[in-house]
Amino acid sequence: MKIYNSLSRKKEIFEPFDPQRVYMYICGVTVYDHSHLGHALSSIVFDVLYRYLRYKGYSVKKVQNFTDIDDKIINKALQEKTSSEVISEKYIKSFFQSIDGLNVLRSDSHPRATEDMEEIINFIKNLIDKGYAYESSGSVYFNVKKFDDYGKLSGNVHNEEYKSSRVDENHSKKHNNDFALWKISNAGEPFWDSPWSKGRPGWHIECSAMVKKHLGAQIDIHGGGMDLIFPHHENEIAQSECFSSKKPFVKYWMHNGMLRVKGAEMSKSLGNTFSINEALKRFSSDAIRLWILQTHYRTNPLLDLDLIKSTEKSLTRLRLINSELKSKPELKKMNFISFKQRFIESMDDDLNTPKAIATIFDLAKMIKKSSSTHDVSQGLILFRELSNILGLNYKKLTKDKVANDVNINEIELMIEERNQARSDKNWKEADLIRDKLLELGIEITDTTEGTKWKK
């Protein structure tokens, strides 16, 4: 299997430190708001990686953290006149609801920064002891100049010229690129005791500490969005490699592309705030997954709801294969192994899910085509097996209640009336009733087993 490594900027053959086991860490979300479709993209991509590695026989340990203490959470708490704990708790719940809804498997562990504070503080202590970090008026900074490899991931070299647009009120840093490991708290803000001050950890240190604690000093895969390459992951490398003196901290860095939104003005109103939970009310998890996986994970797709809708459409064919097709054991068994090979070949090539999906569609077509002349049971088994790797479960969007304002009995009655009209060959009346039903949002289908309807 080949994986594109952001560090080397090319595809590399995947060989974990331990040939049997894979240790992977995915940067999780900062829980100050509902997760949006961009998070869905990332979650789904690494969920598929997780599923596929297990399919290949690896024993995989996947860890994804929650950043549950940071400025945005504090601000939100202030805004809503509550505590950061209440805020983070609320959005952690929402996050799980979202990824469960997307059929994303839970990671083996979901640690929170606030629960690993001891580990974080010890990590910082160690870096100070080794001379990589320094304390300055209650805060602690990493001294970037002490780490020669700084910039190896992002290509951002020490750049004193570049002045960030950010208004940094902090003048206690030695160098422009030095970053906070520990931040002294202002009055009223949440804090933890430390040798340096009552304060809280900087953003990057939690991941280094949690990787170390939950997975080890060196791991196979570290994933996240491309936007995290700098400074987050660059800084993680600095911290972790200085801490353990082991290189590389991460063997394969994987970064998914960023979901883009049409038109800048839309970003605030519609696009960016389109939460996963909101999307799941309108689309099935399969549709969202297919939409995302039909684009390679390293490209930046454009959010387009019509596209998700069209994906929903393409699923009907697959659902039909999954649920309605029966195999005929009395016929000659058909072999579908070539489809499996194609699928694996695609996935082995840096998770080429668009190609893998094409194989699933081709497989579906072949099953359908051959079902009357051959026993296609093996094809059906394979179809489900491959679908499962992509996390497709073929459950329909549960538009549960057919709306309270629509009376089911009434619908049945109208359908009966229409069928009466049809048997009387009173087409005008029949069509009129059909139109009426359509106005109510009821779509009907005449089949050999009678008239079916759906909302």
Partner RNA sequence: GGCGACGUGGCCAAGUGGUUUAAGGCGGAGGUCUGCAAAACCUUUAUUCGGCGGUUCGAAUCCGCCCGUCGCCUCCA
Residues 296-325 that bind RNA (CB under 7 A): 296, 299-302, 304, 307, 310-311, 313-314, 316-317, 320
Q: Considering the complex, what minimum distance in angstroms separates the CB of residue 383 from RNA? A: 13
Q: Which is nearer to RNA, 162 or 404 (CB)?
A: 162
Q: Which is nearer to RNA, 369 or 455 (CB)?
A: 369
Which position among 42, 98, 103, 143 is part of the footprint of RNA (CB under 7 A)? 42
Interface region with RNA, contact rule CB under 7 A, candidates 100-108, 139-147, 212-220, 256-264? 256-264
Interacting positions 47-86 with RNA (CB under 7 A): 67, 70, 72
Q: Which is nearer to RNA, 193 or 412 (CB)?
A: 412
Q: Is 338 in the site for RNA (CB under 7 A)?
A: no
Within 13 Å and on the Cβ side, how many CA atoms surround 158? 13
In terms of phi and psi (left: phi > 0; alpha: psi -120 to 50; beta: otherwise), the region of 188 is left
Which position among 1, 270, 305, 444 is part of the footprint of RNA (CB under 7 A)? 444
Q: Which of 259, 197, 276, 201 is nearest to 225 (CA)?
A: 259
Q: Which is nearer to RNA, 16 or 225 (CB)?
A: 225
d(CA 18, CA 2): 16
Interacting positions 9-38 with RNA (CB under 7 A): 9, 27-30, 38
Helix (H, G, I), strand (E, B) or coil at 141: strand
> Is the N-terminal amide bond of 19 cis, ω within 30° of 0?
no
Q: Is 5 in the site for RNA (CB under 7 A)?
A: no
Measured CA to CA in angstroms, residue 112 lies from 30, 66, 109, 452 at distances of 10, 5, 10, 49
Q: Residue 103 has which token pair?
A: 């059929």
Q: Is 441 in the site for RNA (CB under 7 A)?
A: no
Task: Give, as one character, the DSSP assignment of residue 394.
Answer: -
Which position among 118, 193, 227, 265 is part of the footprint of RNA (CB under 7 A)? 227
Q: Is 391 in the site for RNA (CB under 7 A)?
A: no
Q: Considering the complex, what minimum distance in angstroms separates the CB of residue 180 from RNA? A: 9
Q: Which is nearer to RNA, 217 or 302 (CB)?
A: 302
Q: Is 41 in the site for RNA (CB under 7 A)?
A: yes
- Phi/psi at 254 (5° precision): -120, 135
Q: What DSSP assignment string belongs to 71-134?
A: HHHHHHHHHTTS-HHHHHHHHHHHHHHHHHHTTPPPPSB--BGGGGHHHHHHHHHHHHHTTSEE
Q: Considering the complex, what minimum distance in angstroms separates the CB of residue 156 from RNA? A: 5
Q: Is 162 in the site for RNA (CB under 7 A)?
A: yes
Residues 402 and 361: beta-carbon distance below 8 Å? no
